[in-house]
């Protein structure tokens, strides 16, 4: 796989596919980025190209607009933050109300860039061709994007599992290379998928067993312990014959969980207590009960304090830790303690010499929301879904395109 060092970019236009899909708070007078981690992670590759004299054209998606302009998904606030991080102006090519992402007007702006200057296109998903299932529609948009540049750099690790125009089709049309972020992510994930230093402990949370089934099956034969929290733990508890009240439950996955428990034995560790609530709200009535004692009509929204201690004990002394998915609804204060406790336990093992990886998505958001320094972990991934699919052994379209 080529790197940006293999491209002679000075004086040439380089299209960089970054992942600038950041959360925005629109409750005030102007949109505010609440977590700029992906912008910070994307900046080094953009800066390196600009410093080498490239005319850098950055593109990204944001959220899930439906193939048309939607002001709340505009990348305009991201352009401002990227400019601050880079310490130089970033020309934003978007026009309010327009989904013309790579048309003549945008091409004219790009053509006017000087060496070392940076432009940011508006949301790729404003154009229906970005995510179209129709290969011809996708190809036409890829042609327009490719016409903006002479080189392509894929650096959007959080999107490499998507067969989208900017990710998988544009590299077929231009000399291309992987950006530094993608290369760093792959290096980390290959350690997790290969001969990881033992003991190897995986912590999985999040809502559904079905979302994590592939990675569970792939990693279970390799790990010394698999700690299960979050909403997905209740399907495992149901598989043990426990009532789970009104908690999240995938009834169609109960037999699958029984099989996994039989295969994993005592390597699969489930919560021993849970925080329950009478409704899904920050001001709900709450209680801590044994995992086998969830009351009818109540729902589990976090692992309990004893479970947090148990998980921390199983993490102690680990050589490698992979954590993906919160232990509870950490966005609500009454249900954040389990996620924070596990995050602190993982961080403690980093200090003890373990190789610790936070698997992107909600886990990365939780680390920042709960105020745990990012330097407390060996690596925080920018792509939760991409990380999981890589560890499952799936081919990632964006990576496959860069390898050609």
Taking residues 309-334, report their average pLDDT: 96
Phi, psi of 98 (to 5 degrees): -110, 140
- Which residues does the annotation mark as catalytic? 38, 208, 361, 385
Higher pLDDT, 194 or 170: 170
d(CA 3, CA 44): 13
Taking 3-state DSSP, the helix, strand and coil percentages for the chain, each rounded to the nearest 5, stand at 45, 15, 40
What pLDDT, on a 0 to 100 scale, did the predictor assign at position 35? 87
Among 29-43, 132-146, 333-347, name the one with the lowest average pLDDT.
Answer: 29-43
138 carries a ligand binding annotation: no
What pLDDT, on a 0 to 100 scale, did the predictor assign at position 336? 96
Handedness of CA 213, 214, 215, 218 (dihedral sign): positive
Residue ranges of domains in the chain: 4-183, 194-392
Cβ-contact 78, 33 below 8 angstroms: yes
295 carries a ligand binding annotation: no
Cβ-contact 401, 176 below 8 angstroms: yes
363 carries a ligand binding annotation: yes
pLDDT at 244 over 80: yes
38 carries a ligand binding annotation: yes
61 carries a ligand binding annotation: yes
pLDDT at 362 over 90: no
pLDDT at 61 over 90: yes
CATH code, 4-183: 3.40.50.1260
- DSSP code, position 169: I
d(CA 151, CA 155): 13
Taking residues 355-379, report their average pLDDT: 90
CATH top-level class of 194-392: alpha beta
Q: What is the pLDDT of residues 119-156, one digit of tens each?
A: 999 999 999 999 999 999 999 999 999 999 999 999 99
Q: How confident is the model at residue 299 (pLDDT cuts 50, 70, 90)?
A: very high
What pLDDT, on a 0 to 100 scale, did the predictor assign at position 281? 96
pLDDT at 18 over 80: yes
Do the first three CATH levels of 4-183 and 194-392 match, i.e. the same topology? yes
């Amino acid at each position: 796989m080529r790197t940006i060092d293999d491209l002679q970019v000075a004086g040439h236009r380089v299209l960089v596919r970054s992942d600038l899909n950041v959360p925005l708070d629109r409750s005030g007078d102007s949109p505010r980025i609440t977590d700029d981690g992906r912008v910070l992670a994307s900046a080094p590759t953009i800066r390196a190209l600009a410093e080498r004299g490239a005319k850098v054209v950055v593109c990204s998606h944001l959220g899930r607009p439906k193939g048309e302009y939607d002001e709340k998904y505009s990348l305009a606030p991201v352009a401002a933050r990227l400019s601050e991080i880079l310490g130089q102006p970033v020309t934003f090519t978007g026009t309010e109300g327009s989904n013309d992402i790579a048309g003549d007007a945008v091409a004219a702006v790009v053509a006017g860039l000087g060496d070392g200057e940076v432009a940011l296109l508006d949301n790729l998903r404003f154009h229906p061709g970005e995510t179209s299932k129709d290969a011809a529609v996708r190809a036409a948009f890829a042609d327009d994007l490719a016409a903006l540049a002479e080189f392509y750099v894929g650096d959007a690790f959080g999107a490499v599992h998507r067969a989208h125009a900017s990710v998988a089709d544009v590299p077929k049309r231009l000399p291309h290379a992987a950006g530094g972020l993608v290369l760093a992510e792959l290096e980390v994930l290959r350690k997790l998928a290969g001969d990881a230093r033992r003991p190897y402990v995986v912590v999985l949370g999040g809502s559904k067993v079905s979302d994590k089934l592939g990675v569970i099956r792939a990693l279970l034969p390799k790990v010394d312990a698999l700690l299960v929290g979050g909403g997905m733990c209740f399907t495992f508890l149901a598989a043990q014959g426990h009532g789970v009240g009104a908690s999240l439950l995938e009834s169609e996955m109960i037999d699958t969980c029984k099989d996994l428990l039989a295969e994993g034995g005592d390597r699969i560790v489930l919560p021993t207590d849970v925080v329950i609530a009478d409704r899904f709200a920050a001001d709900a009535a709450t209680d801590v009960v044994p995992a086998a004692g969830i009351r009818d009509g109540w729902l589990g929204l976090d692992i309990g304090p004893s479970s947090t201690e148990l998980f921390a004990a199983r993490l102690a002394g680990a050589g490698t830790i992979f954590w993906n998915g919160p232990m509870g609804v950490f966005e609500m204060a009454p249900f954040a303690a389990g996620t924070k406790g596990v995050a602190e336990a993982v961080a403690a093992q980093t200090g003890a010499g373990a190789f610790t990886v936070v698997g992107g998505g909600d886990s990365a958001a939780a680390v920042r929301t709960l105020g745990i320094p990012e330097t407390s972990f060996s690596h925080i991934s920018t792509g939760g879904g991409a990380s999981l699919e890589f560890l499952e052994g799936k081919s990632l379209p964006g990576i496959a395109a860069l390898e050609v």
